[in-house]
Structure 1
Amino acid sequence: MLVPVDALLQMSAPASLVAVALVLVLEAGLLIGIVLPAGSLVLGLGVLGGIGVVSLPLAALSAATGTVLGAALGHQVVRRRSGGTSPAGDAVRRRAPAQVIRLVDRLITPWRETIRRRPVRAAATAQFVVGARTLAPRLAASAGVPLAIMLRGTAPASLLWSSALVAAGAVAGAALPLIDDLLTVAGVVLTLVMAAWLLVRRQVRLRAVLLTGSSA
């Protein structure tokens, strides 16, 4: 989480909100989004909110908006490019080996059927699972679930997900000064303990030398 926070601290508050929202759009909108650190960035926004850099409600709202827009983009990409038949798209299917395509189809068929039967619940649940935020909109499109129905689950779940992460980050951000103070105190105590230990060890050695000399 520290790396996203460090990166966001280099930006202005509006720029950090836009940057995180854009990453969230890419996470759900494109297949490459499955490897993007979206959750960590939302936590980073929360940390910035905890130290007063950005508004917490605005951070949660911008993250939720980016997630919803990304889900809509991912849904529409599949609907337009592949006619809603494949979450990976025709281009991927043409380039991938036939065995891989059959394996992928076998794996995603149960998920597609689940989304077809319970689209709202499945779309909502997907927002809390890494990777599912990328795949769920595409599976919904390939299952023939209309965008409006999918968003009935995606929108409220996205707001809840982003609010929870922002709140967690805010708590961590607000606790940073306390953590710094505790580390400082711990460092002072450790230094004193080490100094006392070295002093005692020196005294023990000196006494041993004196006893050896007197016995000689």
Structure 2
Amino acid sequence: MLLAVVAVELMAESGLLVGVFLPGSPLVLALGFLAGQGVVEVWAAIPTVAAASALGGQHGFLRGRRRGGPLEQRVTARLGERRARRLDAALEGRAEVAVAVAQCFGVVRTLVPRLAARSGLSHARFTACNVPMAVVWASALVLLGAWSGAAYERVESVVGLMGLPLVAAAAAIVLVVQLIRRRRAARAASDSPGVTPAGANGRPGSSRFR
């Protein structure tokens, strides 16, 4: 059930224009975190995420070929014809690279398939870029989330229910120590003999009048 909900959301995120307002990467990281804690299986999460995102991109590409409906026309009108033409020109000759890179970033993951279709990129070439990058993106984020989930579980098993407060306290201590060291280093630099005025504190300083 959880995987089905995630799949629907990711298809909407990459395939519908409302996807620019939906979470993509954070949702996949959260799913990976749950996989690291054994809620879902990693081997099931990765293909689900990859397939959902790739299918959404396919839908966006096909909609872009048709120049979309009223919603897409409103978006184009909001951007302005000049800006829309500029985006089309930017993709010309670089559409494949743009499709591959866009898979890793929210918002453009939603818009680039439509723009790539308008640039004249063939469906076969779009698929050759979109699907492998969807697999890479899904694998990287799910595994990263799973690693963080497993790491949290190990910490919690060692320190019990106080895991998070203790980890936060340790991080705060490290931060305070670093700030103190930086302040001491700055003070030592300002009090160094090379910048002490002559006669300060009764000691001879390094003055240019010596």
1:113–1:177 distance in 2 versus 1, CA, 3 Å? same
Once the two structures are superposed, residues 108-162 of structure 1 have per-residue CA deviations (whole angstroms, 9 ceiling, x without a partner) of 4343233331222111000011111100111011212222211111111111111
Runs of at least 5 residues in structure 2 that lack an aligned partner in the other structure = 170-210
Matched residue, 1:42 = 28
Does 2:158 align with 1:160? no
1:73–1:103 distance in 2 versus 1, CA, 3 Å? closer
Single out whichever of 103-112 and 155-164 deviates more from structure 2: 103-112
Shift of 1:53: 2.0
Matched residue, 2:70 = 91
Matched residue, 1:56 = 42
The number of residue pairs the alignment matches comes to: 164
Percent pairwise identity = 37
Aligned mates of 1:46, 1:102 — CA distance in 2? 36
Does 2:124 align with 1:145? no
Runs of at least 5 residues in structure 1 that lack an aligned partner in the other structure = 1-14, 83-88, 191-216
Aligned mates of 1:95, 1:150 — CA distance in 2? 25
1:150–1:33 distance in 2 versus 1, CA, 3 Å? same
1:40–1:117 distance in 2 versus 1, CA, 3 Å? same
Aligned mates of 1:145, 1:90 — CA distance in 2? 20
Aligned mates of 2:86, 2:52 — CA distance in 1? 28
Aligned mates of 1:90, 1:41 — CA distance in 2? 28
In the superposition, the TM-score normalised over structure 1's length comes to 0.67
Aligned mates of 1:93, 1:165 — CA distance in 2? 30
Shift of 1:178: 3.5
Does 2:110 align with 1:134? yes
Does 2:76 align with 1:76? no
Q: 2:2 aligns with which of 16, 20, 24?
A: 16
Q: 2:99 aligns with which of 123, 126, 134?
A: 123
1:116–1:166 distance in 2 versus 1, CA, 3 Å? same
1:105–1:60 distance in 2 versus 1, CA, 3 Å? farther
Once the two structures are superposed, residues 23-72 of structure 1 have per-residue CA deviations (whole angstroms, 9 ceiling, x without a partner) of 11111211001111121211121012101222212211110101110011
SS in 1 for 2:120: coil
AA matched with 1:144:
G
AA matched with 2:43:
P
Aligned mates of 2:123, 2:96 — CA distance in 1? 11
AA matched with 1:46:
G
Q: 1:114 aligns with which of 74, 77, 90?
A: 90
Aligned mates of 2:73, 2:9 — CA distance in 1? 28
Specify which structure has the higher proportion of helix.
Answer: 1
Shift of 1:102: 7.4
In the superposition, the TM-score normalised over structure 2's length comes to 0.69
